[in-house]
Chains A and B, each alone.
Chain A
């Protein structure tokens, strides 16, 4: 029995390896374009902005930092390959109301030179931040540390690369789970459903039996939708982020705004579910009264640090994975020899496989800790 189990594990592992091998192969290609483009733009930017020779005397020296940073951060427009990008809507809330236009109007310019004029306002894209030029200003001006001096940032509700990815993930989840749910409605009673649903059900049951039940206890059922949605959304976004080409590659689950929003949801749900015992523990901690002056602030800070840790953990783990893969691929350009690919690609492959694990693991940890926090808030009072 256990022999078969081992064999099947091996088979799954080999499959996974093959799969990620394919991914990685395209990863290398995809990023080559990405990086070349980015390099050009970086060089342009240097020569344009500083008006002087770049800091590096050798023009060929390749700096991976802007490339990596460009990749892991959000952007207007989704670069696909070569000069081809998918334009995404830019939605701005300015003093004169809503302004919308397609990101293609910037013509891939992220140096702030291409000015888009709408409703009498001028906008530029400076490193994927949209700035509104002050009245009368024709061009953006920078101070010594590259901060614009004659422009301000309007509220930016654009459908960026990350928002696009988020919507894609939501769509995928809806497709997968609404299709799965349909299989149950056909009323074949107690039979195990076939196909997609049979694949998804163990995952749903995993969230219920290994995340919700042990951490929350009796009242777990109320929080199942939240935990399931969190788990699958994070996991899906993590996996989409690992796909190296359009429509993947966006670092949504490694974006601080995303993890922040989820952490805030955890914070709100935890504290709104808090029962008497939970609040008593925070506001009237079971320590001598003299210590309350220390303990109460500590407990209140603890309420905030728990979701804060969630936010940082997911952000750092996913972003780090992207940075490592990109850095390894960047080695080829730093050493300026394709032979480096023999080293970079196996390493990047290894990291990518590891990231497949991390993708599931971080989704699990985030959901598990959310369940744990809720569990402490709804736990029966033991004092």
Chain B
């Protein structure tokens, strides 16, 4: 058996064995193994891409949330500011109203006082007039009895009158 001369028997057996082995392994080993590997790879690829998508969605959601939070905060601040403004305004308004009301009450009181005063003065005048009439009556009665005394009395009365 020469080293570099191919033997027909070995060529025959090699070829036959190789072809049979190729057929057997291709059908029952390589096909299922490669299929499983391919499926797993596509599964992993899908998983990675969906994970990426989920992450992106999460980011989106997070930024959305932040946006919403920011908006809410701004709105709250707005509302608070409005409320503060409103309060200020209300206080100012209330103050104004109160002062006008007070002024009005004061005026009314003043008017009332004036009226009372006027009434009192009128009453006084009436009483004074009454008293004057009474005095005049008394004087006239006294004069009828005693001229001198009448004069004295008139004088006294007058004095008194002046005191008033």
Contact = CB atoms under 8 A, between A and B. Distances in A.
Interface of A: 69, 72-74, 91, 127-129, 155-160, 162-163, 166-167, 170, 173-174, 177-178, 180-181, 184-185, 189-190, 192-193, 197, 200-201, 204-205, 208, 221, 224-226, 228-229, 233, 255-258, 260-262, 264-265, 315, 319
Nearest to B5: A256
Contacts of A127: 1
Nearest to A129: B1
A226 B22 contact: yes
Nearest to A91: B9
Contact of B10 (A69, A72, A255, A319): A255
Contact of A174 (B6, B11, B24): B24
A85 B25 CA distance: 32
Contact of A74 (B7, B34, B39): B7
Given A156-B7, A163-B13, A260-B6, A184 B32 contact: yes
A160 B32 contact: no
Interface string B15-29: 101101110111011
B131 interface: no
A167 B33 contact: no
Q: How large is the interface on B (under 10, 10 to 19, 20 to 34, 35 or more residues)?
A: 35 or more
A178 B21 contact: no
B13 A157 contact: yes
B9 A160 contact: yes
Contact of B18 (A163, A180, A205, A233): A233
A236 to B, nearest CB: 10
Given A225-B22, A258-B10, A192 B40 contact: yes
B80 to A, nearest CB: 54
Contacts of A162: 10
B30 A265 contact: no
B37 A201 contact: yes
Contact of B25 (A155, A158, A166, A229): A229
Given A225-B22, A225-B25, A261-B11, A205 B5 contact: no
A197 B30 CA distance: 12
Nearest to B39: A190
Contacts of A192: 40
A170 B21 contact: yes
A178 B29 contact: yes
Given A69-B3, A178-B29, A156 B34 contact: no
Given A178-B24, A257-B7, A257-B11, 18 more contacts: A73-B1, A74-B10, A128-B1, A155-B8, A157-B13, A160-B9, A166-B13, A166-B14, A173-B21, A174-B25, A174-B29, A177-B29, A184-B32, A190-B40, A225-B30, A256-B6, A257-B9, A258-B14
21 contacts: A72-B3, A73-B1, A74-B10, A128-B1, A129-B1, A155-B8, A155-B9, A157-B9, A160-B9, A162-B10, A163-B10, A174-B29, A178-B24, A184-B33, A189-B43, A190-B39, A193-B36, A221-B34, A224-B34, A261-B11, A261-B15
A98 to B, nearest CB: 13
A228 B28 CA distance: 13
B17 A170 contact: yes
B10 to A, nearest CB: 3
Contacts of A170: 17, 20-21
Contacts of B26: 225, 229
Interface string B92-112: 000000000000000000000
B44 interface: yes
B4 interface: yes
Contacts of B18: 229, 233, 261-262, 265
A73 B4 CA distance: 10
A187 B66 CA distance: 45
B4 A256 contact: yes
B12 interface: yes
A381 B120 CA distance: 131
